[in-house]
Structures are given as C-alpha cells and as structure tokens.
Amino acid sequence: MQTPASPPMNYLQAFGDKAETISVLTWALLWLSIAVVAIIAFLTVVGVWMRRTSLEASEAGREPIVRRGGGLSWITIGVSVSTIALFGAMIWNAYTMAAVSKPPRDPAIAIEVIGHQWWWQFRYKSDDPTKIFDTANEAHIPTGEPIRLEVRTEDVIHSFWIPALGDKLDLIPGQTNVSWFEADKAGVYRGQCAEYCGRQHAHMALMVVAEAPDAFRAWREAQLRPAEKPQGALAAGATLFTGRCGACHTVRGTLAGGKLGPDLTHIMSRSGLAAGALSNNTASLTGWIADPQSMKPGNKMPRLELEAPELSRIRNFVQSLK
Ligand code: HEC
Ligand SMILES: [Cu+2]
C-alpha cells in the first residue's frame, strides 16, 4: 500500500493544517523559480537571436562592437520585477512562519523527542507520573489533534523532520526546542534525521503512526503496562537478558533498567528495528542480537559474543515483549 511512509519522502503533499500552510508556499516558490528560469532563458535566446550578424556582413568574419541604446531600461525593468517578486516572497514567508508557529488550540498530548546517535527516544509526558512512558523510533498520535513536541539531544545535533507533516526542528545540545505538529489523515508517516550526525545518520529514520483517537488511547494503555511476568522457559531468557542487555535496555516490570539504548518493554509492537534500519521479524531480530555491528556498522550496541542457546533464549524473551 502506498502510504506517506513509502519512500521517497514527499514534502510536496501535506497531511495536516500546519503542513498545508507550508506546502502552499513551497509550491508557489517552486513555480516562481521555474518561471524565472523560463523567462531568463527566453530573453537570452531572443537577445542572441536579435543581435546576430551574418558572417558575410562582417569584415573577415570579425564582429564589430556596436552599442545600441536601450540596454539600461532592461536592467531597470529586471531589477524592479525581481525586487517585487522577492519582497512578496519575503512577506509570504513571514506570514507563513507566524501562521504555523502556534497550534490552533493547546495540545493535550506532549511528546519529548530525545535524539541519540542513531535512534529516537520518545517520552510521552503527563502530569501524572504513572502515565509517563518511553518508546523508540515509532510514535503513535491521534489524528486531528495538535501534538506538542519538546526536542533535545543527548549527543550531537540532529534534526527532526517528517516531510508530510511540516517543518524541520533541530535538536541542539544543551537546549530544548518546542514546536507542534498534527496529522489529519490516518496513516504511517516516515521521518528522517535531517542534520548529518555521524556514520549512521542515514539509518536514523522514524515513523509516526497517526490513528483514530480510540486506537491511539488503546495503544497508549498497552504501552503503559509493564512487561508480562515471564513464565516457564521465558524466565531463563529474562534472567539472561537482565544480565547481558539490562545495563543498556529497560524492560519495565523486570530488573533491566538501562538507559543507553531504546526501551524494549513493547518492542514487538514496533514494525522496525534500529531506527528503520531493519524490519522487525525473527530473522533480523536474531541477526541484530547476534551481531548488531554487521547490520548497522558503528552503532552504539556492541557485539556481545553470545552462545547459540543463549542467543535463542534471549531472542525468545525479546519476542515475548508484545
Ligand atoms: C552497551 C549498550 C547495549 C547493550 C549491552 C545492548 N544494547 Fe541493544 N541497543 C543499544 C543501542 C544504543 C541501540 C540503538 C542502536 C541504533 O539503532 O542505532 C540498541 C538497539 C537494540 C534493539 C533495537 C531496538 C529498537 O527499538 O529498534 C534491540 C532489539 C536490542 N538492542 C536488543 C538487545 C539485546 C537483546 C541485548 C543483549 C543481548 C542488547 N540489546 C544489548 C545498546 C545496547
Ligand atoms: Cu541524527
């Protein structure tokens, strides 16, 4: 199915009020630029055509330099037209920036976006501490609701960009930038880090799943729940996981509480792994746990040299995290 998530990411089509306001300007500037190129090319050809002298007319093929009057008026006309066009574009730009700076109403949902080399942490905020939870690389939002974004970074500069939903927002060390976005149609929107941030910058994608408010509420309730208590064979996998992986990954409801990598409490609810580098299926999950460096070279999860039985126990436990 063709969704806004399918590459190439499309910034000429908009799926929310904010993005629509911006895309009208994008289109206008695009057509203006095309018109400028066409007019200049046309005038150049006309100028060359009108000034041509036939070879026989000139002495020994040499071109006499003749200045006819009227050249200056072209410059005056050209500069005036450009000034008017550029001034108009500037005013429209300022108007658009003012129009999109504030959401239509106060957002009821706030997401803290935290950039890491090379993945996205999403923290759903709440005044009630028991309603705060973390997820990674895939955020769900309700359609038709403005969402407040508070972005910051744990390391270098990144840039949060979902082309179909609007503008870019930089993640700057030591600073929190605040913005908002909204999707009016349900669908999966792909985003991408838009500021070169190191070796795996290209594999720092994100997905926004916009869904009906009811579906969103159900998703949020499911995300808030801790992992189910591992039973039977899974218990051994959980213990191994805590020992080998728990220093970097959190699984709420277990002793694994690490903060260096993505929260894995509900990893199986995500369609991808490692910020869009892989799709989430048994083969790629097993490959990732066995050797993340061969799949996304340079990423911050080390190869752990697991024995085969250990690997499959840990993998089975991870796959139980629905
Ligand atoms: C030294 C810290 C560290 C250890 C130890 C570690 N990881 Fe990771 N893990 C990370 C980081 C960082 C990422 C994000 C990599 C990226 O996408 O660039 C990650 C990503 C993942 C992902 C993908 C998560 C997502 O949301 O896409 C899975 C699954 C995972 N690790 C499982 C494991 C398992 C299982 C173990 C133990 C065998 C383990 N990790 C050990 C740091 C670690
Ligand atoms: Cu980045």
> How far apart, in Å, are the Cα atoms of 128 and each of 132, 164, 248?
7, 32, 26
Q: How many CB atoms lie within 10 A of CB 153?
A: 24
Among the bound ligands, the one closest to the CA of 262: 1
Contacts 24+ apart (CB under 8 A), 244-251: 244/304, 244/306, 244/310, 244/314, 245/304, 245/314, 248/301, 250/134, 251/227, 251/321
Q: For residue range 142-154, list pLDDT tens digits in order.
A: 999 999 999 999 9
Flag whether pLDDT at 2 surpasses 60: no
- Please give the distance, rounded to the nearest whole angstrom, from the Cα atom of residue 174 to the centre of ligand 1: 25
Q: Is 137 in the pocket of ligand 1 (CB under 6 A)?
A: yes
Ligand found nearest the CA of 319: 1
CB-ligand 1 contact for 89 (6 Å cutoff): no
Which listed ligand is nearest to 194 at the C-alpha? 2
CA of 191 to the centre of ligand 2 (A): 11
The residue whose C-alpha atom lies closest to atom 22 belonging to ligand 1 is 274
What is the tens place of the pLDDT at every residue in 174-196? 999 999 999 999 999 999 999 99
The pLDDT value given to residue 315: 97
Query: Could you give the 3-state DSSP secondary structure of residue 182?
Result: coil
Q: Whose CA is nearest to atom 16 of ligand 1?
A: 274
| Amino acid type, 300 | K
Q: What tens digit of pLDDT does each residue of 190-230 get?
A: 999 999 999 999 999 999 999 999 999 999 999 999 999 99
Pocket test for ligand 1, best of 133, 204, 249, 265 (most atoms within 8 A of CB): 249
Which residue lies with its CA nearest to atom 18 of ligand 1?
118
Tokens describing residue 215: 């579906």
Mutate to test the pocket of ligand 1, among 116, 123, 245, 319 (most ligand atoms within 8 A of CB): 245
**Whole-number Å distance between alpha carbons of 322 and 317:** 10
Q: With a 6 A CB cut-off, is 169 part of the ligand 1 pocket?
A: no
